[in-house]
């Protein structure tokens, strides 16, 4: 059995010390990477990726930054990540936190099943204490698939309590490309529910470059001001390029622009890398 040593780099995002865990999950769902269906035939068994995002934040009269650094290492089988571990560091206006998540993909006849369990290490109140995720994608006809994503989050907060997020989507695959349109609803224990819609896609420009684009519109995408959902309408626009420098090494650059009423703006840039060996 060969021994492998690896170092990773990764993601960033957002949040103020009083922001709620729901925001992280909605953003994760909205900007989720391309479906695992696109995994190429490979002899490599180990996959790793890192993503770092830096965000410029304007929250009313307050200005600052959010950062996310996320890393994943996974074992590959049948071109799926049959087991993976994610470690993500967050910093929002200088308040730091870390999460650790364990997950697995199971290949089905015409789709896949995905489960995940996550824990927060520092118990800062903008992150969940623990979470669970179940995702199912299944072919319905030809190249059309239905994706069902359900998340449960538990965290210590006198404001929200537990959060449940359900986000079904319709996915169309054509060649090495895909388009997805979805609807999401979040139910918060001590507050009203919120709804949002997403559209996103991935497009192979050539053998080495892939373009990803997407947008989300809806209520309480960030929940910055802790208002009722109908007073927190917002939008997120994001995109990126993945550039393969070799068969097993890919670099990424991307960015996003987000707004939420009444007074929140987020501009971000992200860099990433992934490797198989």
Give the span between the Cα atoms of 200 and 203, in whole angstroms: 10
Cα gap 11→274, rounded to integer Å: 12
Q: What is the pLDDT of residues 154-193, one digit of tens each?
A: 877 655 568 899 999 999 999 889 999 999 998 887 778 8
pLDDT at 94 (0 to 100): 86
pLDDT at 37 over 70: no
Topology of the domain covering 21-276? Porin (2.40.160)
Task: Tell me which of 112-116, 221-225, 233-237 is least confident.
Answer: 221-225
Q: How far apart are CA 123 and CA 57, in angstroms?
A: 23
Among candidate residues 185, 242, 176, the one with its CA nearest the CA of residue 203: 176
pLDDT computed for residue 229 by the predictor: 80
Q: Where are the domains of the chain?
A: 21-276
| Residue 136 contacts residue 111 (beta carbons within 8 Å) | yes
Confidence label for 225 from pLDDT (cuts 50, 70 and 90)? confident
146 pLDDT higher than 90:
yes
Rounded average pLDDT over 110-129: 83
Q: What's the average model confidence in pLDDT over 81-91?
A: 92
Query: What band does 20 get if pLDDT is binned at 50, 70 and 90?
Result: very low
Q: How much is the pLDDT for 7?
A: 28
pLDDT at 241 > cutoff 50 = yes
Quote the distance between the C-alpha of residue 196 and its chain's center. 15
- Say whether pLDDT at 4 is over 50: no
Instruction: Tell me what the pLDDT averaged over the chain comes to.
Output: 83
The pTM of the full predicted model, rounded to 2 decimals, is 0.84
> Are 243 and 208 spatial neighbours (Cβ–Cβ below 8 Å)?
yes
pLDDT value, residue 213: 94
Choice between 1 and 202, residue whose per-residue pLDDT is larger: 202
Please indicate whether residue 78 or residue 54 has the higher confidence score (pLDDT).
54
Picking from 15-19, 173-177, 199-203, 266-270, which range would have the lowest pLDDT averaged per residue? 15-19
Question: Over pLDDT 70: what percentage of the chain?
Answer: 80
Q: What is the pLDDT of residue 120?
A: 85
pLDDT score recorded for residue 60: 87
The pLDDT assigned to 181 comes to 95
More confident residue, 10 or 41: 41
- Cis peptide, bond prior to residue 262, ω within 30 of zero: yes
Length of the chain equals 277
């Amino acid at each position: 059995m060969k021994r492998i040593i690896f170092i990773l780099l990764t993601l960033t995002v957002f949040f103020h010390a009083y922001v709620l865990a729901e925001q992280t999950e909605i953003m994760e769902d909205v900007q989720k990477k391309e479906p695992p269906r696109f995994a190429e035939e490979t002899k490599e068994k180990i996959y790793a990726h890192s993503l770092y995002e830096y965000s410029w934040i304007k929250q009313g009269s307050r200005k600052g930054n959010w950062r996310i650094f996320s890393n994943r290492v996974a074992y590959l089988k049948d071109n799926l990540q049959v087991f993976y571990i994610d470690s993500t560091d967050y910093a929002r206006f200088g308040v730091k936190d870390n999460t650790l998540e364990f997950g697995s993909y199971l290949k089905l006849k015409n789709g896949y099943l995905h489960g995940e369990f996550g824990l927060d290490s520092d118990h800062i109140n903008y992150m969940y204490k623990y979470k669970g995720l179940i995702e199912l994608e299944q072919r319905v006809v030809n190249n059309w698939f239905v994706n069902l994503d359900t998340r449960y989050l538990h965290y210590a907060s006198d404001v929200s309590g537990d959060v449940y997020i359900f986000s079904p989507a319709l996915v169309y695959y054509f060649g090495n490309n895909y388009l997805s349109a979805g609807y999401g609803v979040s139910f918060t224990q001590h507050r009203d529910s919120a709804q949002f819609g997403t559209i996103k896609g991935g497009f192979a420009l050539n053998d080495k470059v892939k373009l990803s684009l997407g947008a989300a519109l809806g209520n309480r995408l960030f929940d910055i001001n802790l208002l009722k959902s109908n007073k927190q309408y917002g939008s997120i626009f994001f995109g990126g390029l993945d550039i393969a420098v070799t068969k097993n090494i890919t670099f990424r650059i991307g960015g996003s622009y987000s707004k939420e009423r009444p007074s929140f703006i987020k501009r971000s840039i992200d860099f990433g890398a992934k490797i198989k060996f």
